[in-house]
A = this chain, B = another copy of it.
Amino acid sequence: MFTTYSAMHPKTEAFEPGLQELSLFAKSLAHPARMAIIELLARRKSCYSGDIAQELPLQRSTVAQHLQELKKLGLIKGSIEGQYVNYCLNPDVLRHYTQSLEQWLTQIKLEQSENRIDHNNCWT
């Protein structure tokens, strides 16, 4: 489940699958348009493809491309209603990735505070 890693740069496969998966999720969030789409779908009930495009400062075809990116990980799904397409979040997939990421972030914070040492003379 959740393992269709394609269109990645050469060396990404050399890393742990867990990190690959997480970084792909991060990639989905790595554009404000896609975060805005997720916000929209979380907030609204009727999320026709056209409505989404109208809410964003992008052309329809560009939005379609961002929707593709989200579909690639399965974060969103859609149902055809006549000539319209109603998009919505895929709760299960979203939960999966969200939990993994939150867990990772928590782990980082934990280990980091344990190993805390003084780093004087640091430049940012």
Contact = CB atoms under 8 A, between A and B. Distances in A.
Given A108-B39, A122-B88, A32 B15 contact: yes
Interface string A3-44: 000000101101110011011101111111111101101111
A79 to B, nearest CB: 4
Given A57-B11, A120-B79, A122-B79, A115 B45 contact: yes
Contact of A26 (B26, B77, B108): B26
Copies in the complex: 2
Nearest to A105: B98
Nearest first, the 3 closest Cβ-Cβ pairs linking A and B are A15-B32, A26-B29, A14-B57
20 contacts: A11-B33, A11-B58, A11-B62, A15-B57, A16-B32, A22-B32, A22-B35, A26-B30, A27-B30, A35-B104, A38-B108, A42-B108, A42-B112, A45-B117, A71-B124, A78-B123, A79-B121, A79-B123, A94-B108, A94-B112
